[in-house]
Amino acid sequence: MLIVVILLVIIIGALIAYNFVIYKKLKELKRVKQEVLNLDVVQGFMSTIGNQASVDDKIKRVNEIIVEQYKLDSDEIKFNIKYSTIVIFDGTTYVVKASNVDEKHWNTLSNLHNEEIFKDSITTATPKYITVNNENERLPYQQMEFGRAKSAMFFPLYIDNVYIGYWIIESNEMHAFDKIETSLLDVIKENILSVFKSVSYQNIIETIQRKDLFTELNSAEYLYGKGREIIDKFTTSTVGMFRITNLEEINNTYNRETGNQVVIQVAEYIKNSLAEEYIFVRYMGPKFVIVFSGIEQNGVVDFIMDLKKEVENIQIKIVNKNSEETTKTKTKTTKKKKTKVEEEFVTPKLNFALSKYYKGTALENVTKNLEEYLDNADKSENEINQI
């Protein structure tokens, strides 16, 4: 009998030890699965950063990845994110940059910084978890969304100790995030911040894009933002930069008003000669850039030669401000017969440089090389150069 008891004790001990080993293995498996999931999310984020899309589109895609990857409910991993919203403070207002919540709720979501329950979270840079305890309750910030969310976690976002907004995740289940490891959520939050850091330069470029006052062309910044999205639809393109080589001479010999007319008429003529898929911007001063999307250099040269000849045949009337003012004065003070003044004209001279651009490479380096070439070229140079 004693032997039987001893055997049972040994068997039970072995079973306990076996179950403990199984438990540790399952726990390790859960950890590995979670790490794999986190890695998938990071890879998705990095892929999004590398895409040639606008900053807003990248942030929206990041939010989609969060909902897609963490909308899980299994025996190993329970992580039910029903809604995810990223709100950024742009210096004046809070803007919903990405959300899978119906847009009718965005006003509420963009004003969470005013809610007492979240103010301390923002001040201390710590997450805030709230949930309801029965179906008849609603979360403190909810107004017209009684049954939409039952649990929420609020994360203030800081970059280099500077507050930039917040991220909030919600679930339609009560106590949905009770057992979620905060370290896991911190990983997602840091990934969101990494995306913002990575696209910060792109965001500046897109923000400062503007129209040129005289020509109504996009400025150079357009090339490196929205323009690149169009250009990178093709594997290779040709970038052409030209300089109105006699613009400074016209300004000095006559006046800036005449020079402005030269810039305006040259830009208008070329703009009307280009296909819609080609990008034309005023780069700086007398320099302009044309990107022939998807076209090889050899296919551009003949067109440029013809265009150059046509532009250099344009006659632009000299703006004689002094003559106009004198005529007006004489008209007011005397009734003498006007003497007809012979009109004078100027013609623009262009110097072109072309270079090849490969999708995904540094477009700014291509334009920089073209600019350096044109700036260092002889003032009398009036050609089409391939570099």
Nearest to 282 by CA among 363, 207, 217: 217
Burial class (CB in 10 A: 0-12, 13-18, 19+), 83: buried
* pLDDT (0 to 100) of residue 3: 76
Rounded Cα–Cα distance for residues 275 and 294 (Å): 12
Residue 85: enclosing H or E segment and its boundaries? strand 83-89
Strands 218-219 and 151-159: unpaired
Rounded Cα–Cα distance for residues 311 and 242 (Å): 12
Nearest to 355 by CA among 243, 271, 241: 241
Residues 195-252: tens digit of each pLDDT = 777 666 556 555 556 788 788 899 888 888 788 888 988 999 999 999 999 999 999 9
Rounded Cα–Cα distance for residues 366 and 372 (Å): 10
* pLDDT (0 to 100) of residue 360: 75
* pLDDT (0 to 100) of residue 58: 79
pLDDT under 70 in the chain at which residues?
A: 4, 18, 21, 23-54, 70-79, 144-147, 181, 183-184, 198-209, 321-342
Rounded Cα–Cα distance for residues 43 and 100 (Å): 21
Is this prediction's pTM over 0.95? no
* pLDDT (0 to 100) of residue 197: 74
In three-state secondary structure terms, 91 is coil
* pLDDT (0 to 100) of residue 47: 61
131 touches 151 (CB < 8 A): yes
* pLDDT (0 to 100) of residue 328: 43
Tokens 């210096």 belong to residue: 91
66 touches 102 (CB < 8 A): no
Q: How far is CA 201 from CA 55, 198, 214, 275, 369, in A?
A: 10, 7, 27, 30, 21
284 touches 321 (CB < 8 A): no
In Å, the largest CA–CA distance within the chain is 142
Residue 87 β-bridge partners: 96, 166
232 touches 277 (CB < 8 A): no
